[in-house]
């Protein structure tokens, strides 16, 4: 492959100065780095004095393969190509060999040592911290900023600092246990105490520099010597990892952190991926960010590219596949796993083959578990653990005395769930209020109706009426992020179940056997994943899911972990700029067509910003014909008595208010029901297709 003039300038650069290479999406930065290394070796630089640092193992392996193809030796005695983690681990081993530290145990991912420690800490602090993931996220940010427990702060939840302290104590019992998440933090600590562990490289080349964090910056500072020439490559517009401690400002402020010699900025502005239309649209979008250094994308893609809009994701994919597009040429990218649950459910209902890492969103977690408990209780008259029954009761009944109910279940479990729920005499004696006794009995009848339904779809209509998922999936002790993920997974699985015709007794096993690939090889499936997992990849056609405010851009969640210097949260870029960079990464994965899923009656500021760079704003899709409200057929079995049943007048009011533009919150307040109940009723009346569609109108 012939190099461009810009690439050649970087490859041939031979002045005693550092290089900061600003590379636009698809500009061949890995190719440039590889040829730079090969040129250094041709000039007589000893391979062993060259250190390359790549962002992940996949890119590291690609770099090694390309260097080998060019005849450059790597590994022992050759050019060292590492990820940040493998570099840090090598330095820790060097410290052990010198006797600087001992009693270290390296734990591999398969050992699950880190997870066991996190779970142990979480069990001790469960009352204050609902989710173990909250502990892990906070620790990762503190580690990325080299903040020890004694300097950590988190005013909105001080228990997370206690969790960090306890986690470190467990990690240091008997020996210092290290897993991959500990390497950078530990290596920097050793370098601070002991100084250099290896001879500094003459040349240090670092990829994806926009995603470094303070720990990685200091690691590079401490391995570089005064004569080390540094080349960093990246694109601050693609800095999307602030959520875990990175910050693109290090790219802009490179010379402040590496002042040993002058720095020169050189561009890689030609994109081999993006054509004129895609390049202009992406440039127009990212120009709305203030905290950035302007960059120009010179289009060099095979086609001009197009930016398009679709209202329904499954419909768009069907059309593409029917037109002859191969599944492997398609990618569906979503902002977060919350949005991913909706996306994967819609594709599963449409029976479109999907290759994804997030299939468990429809099977595991508190959201899906609530639905599974409902079907187990109905069809098997049992649950897999006592807490599952209590969760089911809280989702369907109000003001139940928990200790009395749970204590009674321990004594009566052998008789089955229905018998226990119907034992009015026992519940009255146990001190339950009369209305609670009636509600428990009604729940048993609801379970009968679910079990006796002809199909799972019919059973789900009954579950929708009876179950207030928000009541149990949004406890105050859980973070907003965890609450939203639980509800999103619940609603995604509920939507899938609402389309199934198998008997309710098969629902639990069917959930276990959900296979989003449809039994096809990965190459014959549409790729679906978060934008973060898609970084560095490209496809001819990319569909960006959920282009609406609250989806893309997402909603901001609370505060970030803090420190002594910044007790109320470590400084980050404005949240909307972080979101805009993430969207920029999503649309610049496309080589030919970038398609935005923008449901009718929704909007996103990003679409408006993107459209300013197009030759003409995309024509809006004609509005769908007005929906006809479809009333549910009368139930032939006994209606549940917990909660007030929907009347015909209620349905008329709901339809009128929804068509007038009222949102879920206002409707929930008016009818005195949860937002989940309102969303379920809207689906049943055919006012929306899915609960997720209803939730978009807050």
- Please state, in angstroms and rounded to a whole number, the distance separating the CA atoms of residues 697 and 653: 17
How much is the pLDDT for 652? 84
Q: In which band, very low, low, confident or very high, does the pLDDT at 95 lie, cut at 50, 70 and 90? A: very high
Give Cβ neighbours of residue 665 (< 8 Å, ≥ 6 apart): 675, 698
> Which among 609, 497, 498, 639 is positioned nearest to 549, based on CA atoms?
609
How much is the pLDDT for 626? 29
Question: Contact 687/652 with Cβ under 8 angstroms?
Answer: no
How much is the pLDDT for 110? 58
pLDDT tens by residue, 134-143: 899 999 999 9
> Which among 533, 619, 570 is positioned nearest to 137, based on CA atoms?
570
Give percent above pLDDT 70 in the chain: 92
pLDDT greater at residue 649 or residue 636: 649
Average pLDDT of the residues of the chain: 88
Distance of CA 589 to the CA centre of its chain: 17
Q: Provide the edge-to-edge strand list for the sheet that holds 203-206.
A: 80-83, 50-54, 203-206, 229-234, 18-23, 263-268
> Residue 654 above 80 pLDDT?
yes
Residue holding tokens 């600003």? Answer: 22
Q: In which band, very low, low, confident or very high, does the pLDDT at 696 lie, cut at 50, 70 and 90? A: low
Q: In which band, very low, low, confident or very high, does the pLDDT at 641 lie, cut at 50, 70 and 90? A: very low
- Please state, in angstroms and rounded to a whole number, the distance separating the CA atoms of residues 22 and 235: 6
DSSP characters over 409-467:
HHHHGGG-HHHHHH-HHHHHHTT--HHHHHHHHHHHHHHHHHHT-SSHHHHHHHHHHH-
Mean pLDDT to the nearest integer, 577-596: 96
The Cβ-side half-sphere exposure at 667, using a 13 Å CA radius, reads: 28
pLDDT tens by residue, 417-468: 999 999 999 999 999 999 999 999 999 999 999 999 999 999 999 998 888 8
Which domains occur in the chain, in start order? 5-95+186-270 (3.40.50.300), 110-178 (1.10.10), 276-340+347-356+515-557+576-614 (3.40.50.300), 364-513 (1.10.486), 648-696 (no CATH)
> Residue 328 above 50 pLDDT?
yes
How much is the pLDDT for 633? 34
> Residue 540 above 90 pLDDT?
yes
* Beta-bridge partner residues of 104: 176
> Residue 111 above 70 pLDDT?
no
How much is the pLDDT for 629? 35
Mean pLDDT to the nearest integer, 49-61: 93
How much is the pLDDT for 615? 74
> Residue 108 above 80 pLDDT?
no
- Please state, in angstroms and rounded to a whole number, the distance separating the CA atoms of residues 542 and 498: 28
Mean pLDDT to the nearest integer, 523-542: 94
Q: In which band, very low, low, confident or very high, does the pLDDT at 240 lie, cut at 50, 70 and 90? A: very high
Mean pLDDT to the nearest integer, 141-152: 94
Q: Which of 71-85, 86-100, 480-494 has the lowest mean pLDDT?
A: 480-494
> Residue 623 above 60 pLDDT?
no
Mean pLDDT to the nearest integer, 359-387: 91
C-beta neighbour count of 196 within 10 angstroms? 13
Mean pLDDT to the nearest integer, 325-351: 93
Q: In which band, very low, low, confident or very high, does the pLDDT at 175 lie, cut at 50, 70 and 90? A: confident
Give Cβ neighbours of residue 518 (< 8 Å, ≥ 6 apart): 351, 352, 353, 525
How much is the pLDDT for 109? 65
Secondary structure of the chain: what % helix, strand, coil (to 5)? 50, 10, 40
Q: Which of 347-351, 542-546, 631-635 has the lowest mean pLDDT?
A: 631-635
pTM for the full model?
Answer: 0.85
How much is the pLDDT for 668? 75
Q: In which band, very low, low, confident or very high, does the pLDDT at 635 lie, cut at 50, 70 and 90? A: very low
Q: Is 152 helix (H, G, I), strand (E, B) or coil?
A: strand
Residue holding tokens 């990829």? Answer: 207
pLDDT tens by residue, 253-290: 999 999 999 999 999 999 999 999 999 999 999 999 99
> Residue 645 above 80 pLDDT?
no
């Amino acid at each position: 492959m012939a190099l461009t003039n810009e690439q050649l300038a970087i490859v041939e650069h031979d002045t005693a100065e550092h290089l900061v290479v600003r590379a636009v999406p698809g500009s061949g930065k890995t190719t440039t780095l590889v040829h730079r290394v090969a040129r250094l070796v041709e000039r007589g630089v000893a391979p062993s004095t060259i250190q390359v640092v790549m962002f992940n193992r996949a890119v590291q392996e690609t770099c090694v393969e390309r260097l080998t193809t060019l005849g450059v030796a790597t590994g022992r005695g050759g050019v060292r190509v590492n990820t940040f983690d493998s570099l840090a681990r090598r330095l820790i081993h060097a410290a052990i060999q010198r006797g600087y530290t001992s009693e270290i145990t390296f734990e591999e991912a398969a050992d699950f040592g880190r997870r066991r420690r996190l779970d142990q800490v979480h069990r001790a602090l469960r009352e204050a911290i609902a989710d173990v993931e909250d502990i892990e996220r906070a620790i990762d940010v503190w580690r990325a900023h080299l903040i020890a427990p004694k300097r950590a702060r988190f005013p909105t939840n001080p228990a997370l600092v206690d969790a960090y302290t306890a986690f470190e104590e467990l990690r240091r019992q008997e020996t210092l246990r290290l897993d991959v998440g500990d390497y950078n933090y530990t290596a920097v600590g050793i370098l601070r105490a002991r100084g250099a562990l290896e001879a500094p490289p003459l040349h240090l080349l670092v990829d994806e520099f926009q995603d470094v964090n303070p720990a990685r910056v200091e690691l590079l500072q401490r391995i570089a010597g005064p004569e080390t020439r540094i080349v960093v490559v990246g694109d601050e517009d693609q800095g999307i990892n602030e959520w875990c401690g990175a910050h693109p400002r290090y790219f802009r402020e490179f010379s402040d952190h590496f002042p040993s010699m002058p720095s020169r900025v050189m561009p890689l502005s030609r994109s081999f991926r993006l054509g004129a239309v895609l390049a202009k649209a992406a440039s127009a979008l990212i120009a709305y960010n203030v905290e950035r250094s302007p960059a120009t994308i010179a289009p060099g893609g095979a086609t001009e590219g197009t930016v398009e809009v679709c209202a329904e994701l499954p419909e768009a994919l069907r059309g593409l596949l029917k037109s002859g597009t191969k599944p492997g040429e398609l990618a569906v990218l979503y902002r977060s796993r919350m949005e991913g649950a909706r996306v994967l459910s819609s594709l599963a209902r449409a029976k479109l083959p999907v290759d994804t890492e997030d299939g468990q969103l429809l099977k595991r977690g508190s959201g899906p578990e609530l639905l599974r408990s409902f079907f187990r209780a109905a069809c098997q008259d049992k649950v897999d653990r006592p807490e599952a029954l209590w969760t089911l009761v809280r989702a369907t009944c109000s003001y139940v005395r928990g200790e009395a109910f749970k204590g009674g279940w321990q004594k009566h479990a052998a008789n089955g769930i229905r018998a226990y729920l119907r034992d009015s005499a026992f519940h009255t004696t146990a001190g339950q209020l009369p209305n609670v006794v009636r509600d428990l009995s009604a729940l048993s009848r609801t379970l009968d109706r679910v079990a006796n339904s002809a199909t799972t779809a019919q059973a789900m209509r009954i579950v929708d009426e009876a179950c207030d998922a928000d009541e149990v999936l949004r406890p105050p002790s859980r973070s907003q992020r965890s609450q939203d993920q639980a509800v999103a997974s619940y609603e995604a699985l509920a939507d899938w179940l609402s389309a199934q015709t198998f008997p309710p007794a098969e629902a639990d096993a069917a959930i276990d056997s959900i296979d989003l690939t449809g039994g096809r090889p990965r190459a014959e499936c549409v790729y679906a994943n978060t934008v973060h997992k898609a970084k560095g990849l490209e496809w001819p056609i990319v569909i960006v899911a959920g282009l609406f405010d609250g989806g893309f851009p997402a909603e901001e969640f609370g505060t970030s972990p803090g420190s002594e210097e910044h007790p109320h949260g470590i400084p980050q870029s404005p949240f909307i700029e972080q979101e805009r960079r993430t969207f920029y990464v999503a649309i610049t994965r496309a080589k030919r067509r970038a398609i935005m899923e923008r449901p009718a009656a929704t909007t996103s500021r990003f679409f408006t910003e993107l459209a300013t760079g197009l030759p003409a704003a995309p024509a809006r899709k004609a509005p769908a014909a007005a929906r006809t409200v479809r009333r549910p057929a009368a139930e032939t079995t006994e209606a549940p008595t917990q909660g007030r049943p929907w009347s015909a007048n209620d349905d008329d009011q709901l339809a009128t208010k929804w068509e007038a533009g009222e949102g879920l919150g206002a409707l929930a307040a008016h009818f005195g029901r949860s937002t989940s109940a309102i969303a379920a009723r809207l689906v049943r009346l055919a006012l929306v297709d899915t609960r997720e569609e209803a939730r978009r109108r807050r």
